[in-house]
């Protein structure tokens, strides 16, 4: 979800709030996890045209674990909750420095922090500068899931229903029914680090993890034009597009009207 030069987006499958399968990292993938956590896979950005300008600043990418939950949520409250195009379009977060949406926090928590699949970029000073929450795609349902029906936050329910609508259309042909798909569910970068390749490297590390863990595809439902363009540059294929003007309420009015250039939600997928 991105605005202007922002990199914050819902890149999410609709089944995020269901029980999640935990994928322990073993064998060679365990070694990959250990290296991520210890050496940090330090990255020095050179010419990074796929995700912005050059940068000579150091940061590393770590796998998120349950002990990082509070830090990650604090980061997302600041950079994701307000910046994401859909959130802004319906004014999901009330005005005020400490305002939040508890339903969105629960959504992020279930995305999840304990599956060894989600990543954060951390600066040399120890500050989180980017977060990508990933998870295994669950089977799609023909009926609206209970967690959507029971959601009491009417604004957030609109977002959940949009994500469910997208997921149902992506999976209606059943082409991914027997595939192991890793979903990029939430992607957000610190405003001071946007355009420096952080999002690009988070996605590339996710692709590496997908290969290590035996996934067949990596998927992202991009609600932001900028994250969609990044996925396209990284070799993802667009398989479904929903123009926001075509997603309307009972009166025929668009439910979401994000600012330009965010005109559509596009699902991208990459075979790994």
Say if 149 falls within a structural domain.
yes
- Residue 197's domain spans which residues? 56-271
> What pLDDT is attached to residue 24?
32
Say if 184 falls within a structural domain.
yes
H-helix or E-strand spanning residue 208: helix 198-213
> Per-residue confidence of the chain (272 residues) as pLDDT tens digits?
333 334 555 664 333 333 333 333 333 444 444 444 333 333 323 223 335 444 446 999 999 998 999 999 999 998 888 889 999 999 998 776 567 999 998 888 876 677 899 999 999 999 999 999 999 998 877 889 998 999 999 999 999 999 999 999 999 888 898 899 999 999 999 999 999 999 999 999 999 999 999 999 999 999 999 999 999 999 999 999 999 999 999 999 999 999 999 999 999 999 99
Say if 225 falls within a structural domain.
yes
SS3 breakdown of the chain: % helix, strand, coil, rounded to 5? 35, 20, 45
> What pLDDT is attached to residue 81?
87
Tokens of 153: 């936050």
Say if 87 falls within a structural domain.
yes
Counting Cβ atoms within 10 Å, is residue 226 exposed (0-12), middle (13-18) or buried (19+)?
A: buried
Say if 72 falls within a structural domain.
yes
The torsion angles phi and psi of 219, rounded to 5 degrees, stand at -125, 145
H-helix or E-strand spanning residue 89: helix 85-89
Closest CA to 141 of 14, 10, 268, 11: 14
- What is the number of structural domains in the chain? 1
pTM over cut 0.85: no
Instruction: Return the beta strands (E) in the chain as ranges.
Output: 8-10, 43-44, 58-63, 119-123, 128-136, 181-189, 217-222, 237-243, 264-271
Cross-strand partners of 183? 135, 219
Say if 88 falls within a structural domain.
yes
Instruction: Return the beta strands (E) in 89-158 as ranges.
Output: 119-123, 128-136
> What pLDDT is attached to residue 10?
63
Q: What is the CATH number of the domain that holds 101?
A: 3.40.630.30
Say if 80 falls within a structural domain.
yes
> What pLDDT is attached to residue 13?
38
Say if 214 falls within a structural domain.
yes
């Amino acid at each position: 979800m991105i605005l202007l030069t922002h990199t914050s987006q819902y890149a999410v499958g609709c089944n995020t709030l269901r029980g999640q399968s935990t994928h322990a990292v073993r064998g060679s993938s365990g070694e990959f996890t250990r290296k991520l956590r210890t050496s940090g896979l330090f990255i020095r950005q050179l010419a990074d045209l796929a995700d912005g300008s050059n940068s000579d600043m150091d940061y590393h990418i770590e796998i998120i674990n349950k002990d990082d939950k509070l830090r990650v949520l604090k980061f997302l409250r600041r950079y994701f909750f307000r910046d994401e195009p859909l959130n802004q379009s319906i004014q999901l977060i009330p005005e005020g420095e400490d305002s939040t949406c508890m339903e969105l926090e629960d959504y992020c928590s279930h995305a999840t922090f304990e599956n060894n699949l989600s990543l954060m970029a951390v600066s040399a000073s120890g500050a989180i500068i980017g977060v990508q929450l990933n998870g295994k795609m669950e089977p799609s349902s023909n009926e609206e899931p209970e967690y959507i029906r029971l959601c009491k936050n009417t604004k957030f329910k609109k977002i959940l229903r949009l994500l469910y609508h997208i997921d149902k259309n992506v999976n209606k042909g059943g082409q991914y029914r027997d595939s192991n798909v890793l979903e990029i569910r939430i992607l957000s970068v610190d405003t001071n680090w946007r355009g420096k390749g952080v999002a690009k490297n988070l996605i590339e590390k996710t692709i590496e993890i997908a290969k290590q863990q035996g996934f067949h595809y990596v998927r992202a439902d991009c609600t932001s034009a900028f994250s969609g363009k990044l996925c396209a540059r990284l070799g993802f294929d667009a398989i479904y597009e929903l123009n926001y003007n075509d997603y309307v309420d009972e009166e025929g009015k668009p439910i979401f009207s994000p600012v330009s250039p965010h005109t559509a939600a596009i699902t991208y997928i990459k075979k790994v």
